[in-house]
């Protein structure tokens, strides 16, 4: 009887132990349920990092505003920044998924998952963003080496969505260079949004985390139940039928802004990477007084410097070229006080002279390009001699991205053939500047006129009507 009693008592004991072990195994996938009162009490999350835009936003992270969830509140939003918070140790292997539940409570934002190739973020190279936009649309973007976009997920409308509705997002690493993106309601990510095939030139992202992008408006949202696990161990469905990824043809040559609509396009993002005294120059935009032109009035009374106008849709992939016409309307001639032309930067909203290019003509008639690398060190430039130049002459600037790190700089003046001014290479730790736009360097008041900001997918020497002089 004693032996039998021991046996009968022991069996339930063993069963409870097994259940406990099973519970521990099931919970191992939950990296953070945000259940405590203090965010990041275990130091499992790295500090907030900015992959795009400027770092001017005020961000608060807490687990008390909405108990059991991480609440993200962004105020004083002005920098159009995209922020990432990566897990300190977790990485995504082939056959695993990362998943989280998110809401948008108020304001304008994107919020969701991210994957990164490194835990030290300086730009958007080799990143995936996938999550919820504040209009109830799922949005996903992937960026390869150099920050060029390699995937843009279809904008899927979430039925019945409203502020506060929780949406689950999941990224499955289905192969070494393939990622599947899923979303769903009620805790199940069962709707397939597409696959990302990572190019051989890029580094597949493995570090998991969450992202949010408040754009230019304050917002509040939540993140909950951040987890990873084997894709086969969770409810990862197989799409029916499984979409076969097809190569995306390059978009056609396109005009990003011909300045014909009479109002300044808010897609242009202003920044001051270099201030020479005071607060830097003040700019006034006028697109109505002269049809089809953008006139920029520069006031340097409170200080000079270099200003950029860049835009998110003007990034150069290898083989692409950006094109711009410009001329000086008012201001002095010959005193080196006015520079205008094209800019290159690694991000919009650039506020430092780091990994950028000034490709301009000075008001003494000298075409001048200055190239800056990591840390702001000057790494090269161009300075070709022009035959003649006078105020009011239109000069065309062309920048062609030849390889991942090399850019060629071209120009025309009046009716002269397209001429190569020289090249610049960003290597040895420098980051290639891929965003193109307008560059303006002034220490005196002036008026500059811009026209025809375009992007070309064809090689620069294949553009119809151009005669190239090497």
List, in sequence order, the alpha helices (H) in 355-421.
none
pLDDT classification of 417: cutoffs 50, 70, 90: confident
Pick from 361, 409, 365: which is nearest to 387 by CA?
A: 365
Pick from 328, 262, 272: which is nearest to 297 by CA?
A: 328
Pick from 385, 452, 456: which is nearest to 421 by CA?
A: 385
> Which tens digits make up the pLDDT trace of 12-48?
333 333 433 333 333 347 999 999 999 999 999 999 8
Q: Quick one: average pLDDT of 320-344?
A: 88
Pick from 277, 170, 159, 279: which is nearest to 231 by CA?
A: 170
Residue 317 · residue 461 · CB < 8 Å? no
Q: Quick one: average pLDDT of 327-337?
A: 85
From residue 175, alpha-carbon distances to 73, 82, 242, 289 in Å are: 35, 27, 15, 56
Distance of CA 90 to the CA centre of its chain: 23
pLDDT computed for residue 215 by the predictor: 64
pLDDT computed for residue 246 by the predictor: 47
Beta strands 418-425 and 468-469 are parallel
pLDDT computed for residue 58 by the predictor: 84
Give the start-to-end residue ranges of the domains of the chain.
Answer: 30-233, 254-469
pLDDT computed for residue 89 by the predictor: 93
pLDDT computed for residue 32 by the predictor: 94
- Phi (first) and psi of residue 103, to 5 degrees: -135, 155
Of 176 and 81, the structure prediction assigns the larger pLDDT to 176
Q: What is the DSSP string of 321-334?
A: EEEEEEEEEES-SS
Q: Structure pTM?
A: 0.49
The most distant pair of C-alpha atoms in the chain lies apart, rounded to whole Å, by: 113
Q: Which two tokens stand for residue 10?
A: 């022991």
Of 11 and 112, the structure prediction assigns the larger pLDDT to 112
Domain 30-233 maps to which CATH number in 2.40.50.140, 2.60.120.10, 1.10.1530.10, 2.60.120.200?
2.60.120.200
pLDDT classification of 288: cutoffs 50, 70, 90: confident
Q: What is the DSSP string of 253-307?
A: PEEEE-S-SSS--TT-EEEEEEEESTT--EEEEESSSSTT-EEEEEE-TT-EEEE
What is the CA angle 268-270-275, rounded to 5? 155
pLDDT computed for residue 213 by the predictor: 84
Domain 254-469 maps to which CATH number in 2.60.120.200, 3.40.630.10, 3.40.50.300, 3.40.50.620?
2.60.120.200
Say if residue 450's pLDDT is above 70. yes
Of 290 and 365, the structure prediction assigns the larger pLDDT to 365
> Which residues are 73's β-sheet partners?
60, 220
CA separation for the pair 104, 110 (Å, rounded): 8
């Amino acid at each position: 009887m004693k032996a039998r009693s021991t046996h009968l008592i022991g069996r339930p004991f063993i069963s409870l132990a097994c259940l406990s072990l099973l519970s521990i195994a099931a919970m191992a996938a939950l990296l953070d349920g945000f259940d405590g009162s203090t965010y990041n009490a275990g130091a499992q999350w790295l500090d907030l990092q900015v992959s795009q835009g400027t770092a001017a936003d005020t961000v608060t992270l807490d687990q008390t505003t909405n108990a059991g969830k991480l609440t993200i509140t962004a105020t004083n939003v002005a920098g159009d920044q995209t922020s990432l918070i990566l897990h300190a140790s977790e990485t995504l292997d082939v056959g695993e998924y990362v998943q989280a539940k998110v809401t948008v409570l108020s304001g304008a934002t994107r919020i969701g998952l991210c994957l990164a190739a490194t835990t030290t973020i300086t730009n958007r190279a080799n990143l995936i963003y996938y999550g919820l936009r504040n209009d109830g649309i799922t949005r996903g973007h992937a960026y390869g080496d150099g920050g060029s976009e390699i995937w843009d997920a279809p904008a899927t409308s979430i039925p019945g969505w409203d502020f506060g509705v929780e949406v689950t997002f999941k990224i499955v690493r289905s192969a070494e260079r393939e990622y599947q993106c899923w979303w769903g309601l009620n805790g199940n990510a069962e709707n397939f949004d597409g696959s990302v095939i990572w190019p051989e030139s890029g580094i597949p992202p493995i570090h998991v985390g969450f992202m949010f992008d408040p754009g230019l408006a304050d917002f509040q949202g939540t993140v909950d139940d951040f987890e990873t696990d084997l894709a086969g161990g969770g409810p990862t469905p197989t799409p029916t039928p499984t979409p076969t990824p097809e190569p995306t043809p390059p978009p056609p040559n396109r005009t990003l802004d011909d300045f014909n609509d009479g109002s300044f396009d808010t897609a242009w993002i202003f920044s001051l990477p270099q201030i020479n005294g005071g607060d830097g120059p003040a700019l006034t935009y006028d697109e109505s007084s002269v049809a089809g032109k953008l006139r920029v009035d520069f006031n340097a009374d409170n200080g000079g410097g270099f200003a950029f106008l860049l835009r998110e849709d003007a990034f150069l992939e290898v083989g692409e070229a950006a094109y711009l016409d410009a001329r000086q309307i008012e201001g002095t001639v010959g005193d080196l006080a006015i520079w205008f032309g094209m800019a290159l930067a690694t991000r919009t909203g650039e506020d430092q002279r780091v990994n950028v290019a000034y490709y301009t003509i000075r008001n003494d008639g000298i075409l001048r390009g200055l190239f800056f690398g990591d840390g702001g060190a000057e790494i090269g430039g161009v300075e070709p001699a022009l035959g003649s130049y006078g105020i009011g002459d239109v000069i065309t600037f062309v920048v062609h991205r030849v390889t991942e790190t090399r850019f060629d700089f071209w120009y025309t003046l009046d009716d002269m053939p397209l001429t190569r001014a020289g090249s610049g290479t960003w290597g040895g730790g420098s980051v290639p500047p891929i965003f193109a736009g307008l560059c303006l360097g002034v220490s005196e008041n002036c008026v500059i006129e811009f026209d025809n900001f375009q992007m070309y997918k064809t090689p620069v020497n294949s553009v119809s009507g151009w005669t190239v002089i090497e």
